[in-house]
Amino acid sequence: MTNRARIPQEADVVIVGAGHNGLTAGCYLAREGLKVVVLEASPTIGGMTCTNPIMDSVPEHDFNEGAIQLTGVFRLSRIVEELQLAQYGLKQIPVDPAHVQLAPDGSSFAVWEDANRSADELRYFSSRDARRWLELANSLRSAMKVVVPYMNSQPTRPLNREMLKGLVGAARNPGPLWGLRRMLYASHTEFLEETFETELPKGALAAMAAFSQMRLDMTAWAMIYLGLVQQVSNAMPIGGTGALPAALHRCLNAHSGEVHTSARVDEILVDGNRASGVRLESGEVIRARRAVLTGCNPTVTLGELLPEGTLSEELQWRVKDIPIRKTHATSLKINVALKGHVSMAKHEKWRGDGLDLRKYLTAWHTLAEQDAGWNSLVRGEWPDPVPVSCAIIPSAVDPTQAPEGCDTFWMWSGVVPVTPQDSWDEARERIGDSVLKDCAQYYQGLDELEIDRTVLGGPDLEKRFNAPAGNVFHVDPLITRFGPMRPAEGLGRYRMPVDGLYLSGAGTHPTGGVCGLPGKLAAQALLRDQNPTRLTRAVRAVRSGAQPNNR
């Protein structure tokens, strides 16, 4: 990071936001010789992926402030290989199983990358559920041959060799994909209740894909997440998720790019329907010779930073309707610094396979509890209990995140009300106590070993990360808001209707989470526009009414 006083007055590309997507885009652009300047409002880089000592009382305990892990999608993106991030210090620890569902009696069920291992565990409870798990896994495996290549491609120009191969395979053997048809219209709860008869797989697949009210039609599509984790496991970077933006920053510097923190952008400058630069809150102006690319929430980029009247009236309405509160949910993240090691001996003894459960994401609430929790949100009520979407002891995986002999613990829930009847300041202490008391039933010693904690709700995440409604996805993860419809119709191509303006970040294709693809694909779209093919030039000329130059 460089001192604010030395921000250059111009660059080829100005990037707004030094989250992992903005930095990823910057690296791809700088590698091609473009002069890149990244501007970040916060005093540190990384956005929600940053890792910091966030409690003054325990400066040696580090916590991921917003993110959880590197998703399997990130590991399928080839970003690490293409940007040579290992060379810039990124070290990853694969996390398999991706999730362990716990029961009060000490039993558990692990969701492994290998579906056969999961089925073997389920067979102890129900041979029918084991068979159903393998059937679902087989169907999802076929879907992934189309879904993963699509996620790695431009949303409006998706066909590539791998995707075409998957489509041909599906046409020749449609049976497995046909088995997923109910996912397109059934509710999440309905699908799970029909598919499984025991509680552990139902609870696991409700917690792993906690995206929206579970009784609504067309919410079973969330099962696609299981297909992704069975494609490739998630990973934890050594040093926390903040190790990813740190490696990206070093990569960017190596290609002469710059990052400036505490540099809040107040306005995107537009001259003659072209994004020409940005104005900072301080009044400084940085001109963009080629383009402006943002990693912000799309409602911020298009609804706040762009001058009023830049977009057509139709698109302005679509921006206002981008859903960030439609699921009625926001996030709760509780970080706890511990003066010793918590134990999960009860559940580890039941398993008897030597699996250290402290190292993996766990949850324990039943499908019924999670379903009821989502229903509470619509009424603005706090669920009782608050469903824990996942919890973990990160220091068990990576001891560098806590002093020797100590632990860090955090839990995250995506099932808390975005507009509660009582204010967050009134509820914070009560909710924190209640949730941690629940967690202590599974993490023995959590209450006695606590040194300090932070309890972060939607308003805290909004303030810290400039994320409206504390929405970690930027745009609500609804089935109608993916692909070219993410974030909205006419705005899903990275290239905005304003020349030279590109939208990236979690609110663009393919998804939120720590995957980096919105940054990579937005950069590729920008580079393609800088070096268009003859066909692209001809198409644009026809659209503009000019005569194409075919020389």
Q: Is the dihedral of CA 399, 402, 407, 413 positive or negative?
A: negative
Q: Residue for token digits 């969330």? A: 222
How far is residue 435's CA from residue 391's CA, in Å, rounded to a whole number?
Answer: 11
Q: How high is the pLDDT of residue 457?
A: 97
The half-sphere exposure of 460 on its side-chain side, counting CA atoms within 13 A, is: 14
CB distance 58 to 337 below 8 Å:
yes
How many C-alpha atoms does 479 have within 13 Å on its Cβ side? 17
Tell me the two tokens of residue 196: 């499984």
Coil, strand or helix at 137: helix
The strand pairing partners of 275, in sequence order, are 270
User: Rounded to a whole number, what is the distance in angstroms from the first to the last CA of the chain?
Assistant: 45
Which pLDDT score is estimated for 312?
96
What is the distance between the alpha carbons of residues 208 and 222, in angstroms, rounded to a whole number? 9
Strand pairing category for 36-39 and 329-338: unpaired
Q: Read off φ and ψ for residue 484, nearest 5 degrees.
A: -70, -10
Give the burial class of 155: count Cβ atoms within 10 A of its Cβ; 0-12 exposed, 13-18 middle, 19 or more buried: buried
Q: Flag whether pLDDT at 344 surpasses 50.
A: yes
Q: Tokens representing 468?
A: 């409206």
Residue with tokens 């709700």: 457
Query: Considering the chain, what percentage of its residues have pLDDT values greater than 90?
Result: 86
Which pLDDT score, from 0 to 100, does residue 296 have? 96
pLDDT at 158: 77
Identify the bridge partners of residue 502 per DSSP, sorted by sequence position. Answer: 293, 495
Q: Is the pLDDT of residue 407 over 70?
A: yes
Does the structure show a pLDDT above 50 at 548?
no
pLDDT score, position 533: 56
pLDDT at residue 508 greater than cutoff 60: yes
| Residue 536 pLDDT exceeds 70 | no
Count of beta carbons in the 10 Å neighbourhood of residue 392: 24
Average pLDDT over residues 250-257: 98
Per the structure block, which two tokens stand in for 238?
């050594």
pLDDT at 1 over 60: no
Q: Are 73 and 517 in contact (CB under 8 A)?
A: yes
Superfamily of domain 4-68+241-324+471-536: FAD/NAD(P)-binding domain (3.50.50.60)
Mean pLDDT across the stretch 32-51? 97
- DSSP of 268-314: EEESSSBEEEEEETTS-EEEEEEEEEE-S-HHHIIIIISPTTSS-HH
Closest CA to 230 of 145, 112, 93, 108: 112
Mean pLDDT in residue range 464-476: 95
Smallest Cα–Cα separation from 411: which of 68, 30, 6?
68
Domain boundaries in the chain?
4-68+241-324+471-536, 111-233, 325-467
- Looking at residue 23, its amino acid is L
